[in-house]
Amino acid sequence: MLTDEYWMAKALLLAEQGAAKGEVPVGAILVADDKVLGQGYNCPISSNDPTAHAEVMAVRDAATVLGNYRLPETTLYVTLEPCTMCAGALVHARVTRVVYGATEPKAGVVESNPCVFEGEHLNHKVAYQGGVLAAECSAMLSTFFKKRREEKKGVARG
């Protein structure tokens, strides 16, 4: 059985693909029995779709591959703590577990803010674990935003 770190490293590669396209570098990969079912990276800017977060793209990909909108017995690896929209999508898809890297203090809803997955009203519970390759995930995001700020300064001076 492959490790959480192995799969998070794969999600980081997907995040790099998004960064190369100017998107916030977040990658996600959905796995069952050590097989990739779906994958994606953030692409709301390039797709003009505010729902095109990495998690949603991976879930859409897997649902298409499996021909089913339910994805039980799966684990989603994502480089950044999920937001409310993505957490809701994981509940509706019946994903069993989510593993994430970096926390997201502003929009994260697993540990940074009240945990959506622990809502008593939910008809499905998603298990979760954070901090897997957190330093690498955080560094990728920090580098991306630092570069973006530097580019904006260069434009303002020019």
User: What are the residue numbers of the active site?
Assistant: 55
* β partners of residue 2: none
Q: Residues comprising the binding site? A: 53, 83, 86
| SS3 assignment for 53-76 | CHHHHHHHHHHHHHCCCCCCCCEE
Phi, psi (degrees; rounded to nearest 5) at 94: 65, 35
Question: What is the number of H-type helices and E-type strands within the chain?
Answer: 5, 5
Q: Residues comprising the binding site for Zn(2+)? A: 53, 83, 86
